[in-house]
Structure 1
Amino acid sequence: MSRKFNFCAGPAALPEEVLTQAAAEMLDYGKAGLSIMEMSHRSSEIVAIAEKAERDFRELLDISDDYSVLFVQGGASSQFSAVPLNLLGGKTSADYVNTGQWSKKAIKEAQRFGQVNVVASSEDTNFTTIPAFDSWQLDKDAAYLHYTPNETIGGVEFLWTPEVDVPLVADMSSTILSRPIDVNQFGVIYAGAQKNIGPAGLTIVIVRKDLLGKSSEHCPTMLDYKTAADNESMYNTPPTYGLYLAGLVFQWLKDQGGLSAMAEINRRKATKLYGFIDASSFYANPVELMSRSTMNVPFTLANADMDKQFLAEADQLGLLNLKGHRSVGGMRASIYNAVPEAAIDALIDFMKEFESRA
């Protein structure tokens, strides 16, 4: 079987070693005579998998005991509601930064539960920049500040962490585990799994324990962080197979040398691709240099009429899912942890050859 290179923004590529192990264990896990997907979430096997996954995840990110790690369902989009429902407390407003489509969705949902102060926005640059911190109109009485460190659609990324006096909340769906971070700078971090963690369906929430138990009286039980924390993420049946695969990914990351090693690999991949695009007169990236995403690289062709041909030929060569988001067009290469450097080399070789015929 020949594996192709998957540049999808999500669900994204998974490490081949992880898929190979999962395939080998699909029908009979640990000689139990059944698949993990068939096991009770209360079984000793699933409990052991969940406990190891949390230990490895905490080790990778150096998460202290001051934080709870929650494995929940609903995707990052469910957290757009969960965050205000859990964190507004007795306050009526929260600060949000608008740097793209996912920020906008988080803002829209939060407006259902309280006042949203958009303290900074890069919409005037068509979301190709990160607003300078000294321009932010912060509210010292806000319940929290929410931002999206990486916007998968526009390909912009914060290469720094905002320092604020209120709990900092981050949607890290597309950057988590791609490099080391200081978790202690945050009140809440949440991430959908389908980019750097595992398959779609699992969501991870890291929440500082002093923020638990402050949810709105209208907060649904399944969105209450304290419910998940008090029940070790098993108040109801969790996404057991997704959790199992996430655990395999965590072990794979440790085997690669951890997040410092992954950061170096990811920097090398991104630098190589951006370097080629910048040196070309046929391809272009619209994002300002200091705001470019390491994970999602959008680019355009000099002649948009050739987009369909480019995508068709790329597909034939096994370079999949390079079409840009419908809201921005062009191309997008998502180069998450599991996308090997060989995929970047193959993409650049094709882009060179395509340009020579354009």
Structure 2
Amino acid sequence: MTRLYNFSAGPSSIPGPVLSRARDELLDWHGCGLSVLEMSHRGKEFHSIAEKIESDLRALLGVPDTHRILFLQGGATTQFSLIPMNLSGKGRTASYVDTGYWSRKAIQEGRKLCDVQIAASSENLNDYSLPSSENWVINVSADYLHYTANETIEGMEFSGVPDSNGVPLVCDMSSNILSGPIDVERYALIYAGAQKNLGAAGITLVLIREDMLGRVSGELPSVFSYLEYAENRSLVNTPPTFIWYLMGLVIEWIDEQGGLDAVAATNTAKATKLYQAIDRSEFYSNKVKVDARSRMNIPFVLADADLSDYFILEAEKNGLVNLRGHRSVGGMRASLYNAMPESGVDCLVSFMNEFERRNG
């Protein structure tokens, strides 16, 4: 079977070895006579799977003992609401940084549940760039400061951890989690949907500092409460057990690649190849300021926009799929998450060069 190179922004590619192992273990997990799909989420078999995943993730990311690891449902979009519900509330203030489509979604939901103060925004900047954290106006009495580490649609990514001026820092890392080392200790809360770098859609990772759990109101419904999930090993209800298990296989695969430092080097190399191909061409262009460019999501446009549909069609004929840009911005977008091999980027660059030669 020939596998396509999937440049989708999400759900994205899953590493081949992970898919193969999931296939091999599908009918009988480790000789227990059951598929993970059939296991009780409270049985000893799944308990051992969940414990290993948490242990492996804590080791891979260097999660300190000050932080709890939660496995939730509803995607990152649900966290847009759960964060203010758990950490803030009516009559209280939370600060947000507005850098694009997904941060604005978080702001929109936050405004329903607390008073939102915009600490900084890239909306009025003349170029595709990120507001320097030195110029952020942070309400020091805010319950938290929220930002989006990587904007998948605009193709912009923060390269470091911003200074929150002592305000608890909350970050949406849905599209760049595990793409390199993270200083978890500097965050009050990190959240990420699984369908980009953690496996398949259906589970959301939350890393939350212990002291933040003390803010959670006992009046929240159990399925909305971080405290309830922390006290019940994320088993407040029946979780998506197979997706949880698949995340564990992805974590093991990353470790086998050499860990987060090795993965970061590969991701930088992949992104550099594609940006160089775009920058040396007069046929393709990327509008993002160099120091704000994402390693994960690279949007680009053609000099002749009328050729866009033809580009997509020809790319698909060459085994390069899901390159169409988001409907809100158009153009093309290549997502280079961990599972995208360098060979996929090489094939894309080769195709782009040939397409330009024939149509430029």
Give the TM interval when normalised to the shorter protein: over 0.9
CA contact (8 A) 2:96 2:116 kept: yes
Give the corresponding residue for 1:315.
Answer: 316
Query: What secondary structure, in the 3-state scheme, does the structure 1 residue paired with 2:301 have?
Result: strand
Secondary structure in structure 1 of the residue aligned to 2:29: coil
Overall identity of the aligned pairs, in %: 53
Give the 3-state SS of the residue equivalent to 2:279 in structure 1.
helix
SS in 2 for 1:125: coil
Which SS does the other structure have where 2:105 is aligned?
Answer: helix
CA contact (8 A) 1:89 1:215 kept: no
Which residue pairs with 2:304 in the alignment? Answer: 303
Check if 1:242 corresponds to 2:247.
no
Q: Equivalents in 2 of 1:295, 1:197: separation in Å?
A: 14
User: d(CA) in 1 for partners of 2:57 and 2:35?
Assistant: 24
Cα distance in 2, alignment partners of residues 111 and 280 from structure 1: 43
Any unmatched runs of 5+ in structure 1?
none
Which residue is 2:254 aligned to?
A: 253
Q: CA deviation at 1:219?
A: 2.9
Q: SS of the residue aligned with 1:298?
A: strand
Partner SS state of residue 163, structure 2: coil
Q: Are 1:18 and 2:18 an aligned pair?
A: yes
Q: Does 1:5 align with 2:5?
A: yes
Q: Distance in 2 between matches of 1:126 and 1:104?
A: 18
Whole-angstrom distance in 2 between the partners of 1:255 and 1:133: 35
- Aligned: 1:225 with 2:226: yes
Matches within 5 A, 1:179-328: 179-216=180-217, 219-328=220-329
CA contact (8 A) 1:130 1:158 kept: yes
1:34 to partner: Cα distance: 2.6
| Alignment TM-score, normalising by the size of structure 1 | 0.98
Mapped to 1, the partners of 2:104 and 2:253 lie a distance apart of 34
Query: What are the ranges of 5 or more consecutive residues in structure 2 without an aligned counterpart?
Result: none
Report the Cα distance in structure 1 between the residues aligned to 2:116 and 2:178, rounded to whole angstroms: 29
The farther-off stretch of 178-187 and 122-131 is 122-131
Runs of 4+ in 1 over 6 A off after TM superposition: none
Matches within 5 A, 1:158-173: 158-164=158-164, 165-173=166-174
**Deviation sequence 1:175-223 (CA, Å, 0-9, x none):** 1100001001100000000000010000000000011031245533212
CA distances 1:161-180 after superposition (whole Å, capped 9, x unpaired): 11121100000000110000
Give a deviation string over 1:284-313, Cα, whole Å, max 9, x none: 001000000010000000000000000001
Judged with a 3 Å threshold, the aligned counterparts in structure 2 of structure 1 residues 279 and 218 are, in CA distance, closer, same or farther, namely farther
Aligned to 1:154: 154
Contact 1:91 1:143 in 2 (8 A): no
Normalised to the residue count of structure 2, the TM-score between the two structures is 0.97
When the two structures are aligned, how many residues end up with a matched partner?
358
The one-letter code matched in structure 2 to 1:21 is R
Name the structure 2 match of 1:37.
Answer: 37
Tell me the distance in 2 between the aligned counterparts of 1:213 and 1:138.
23
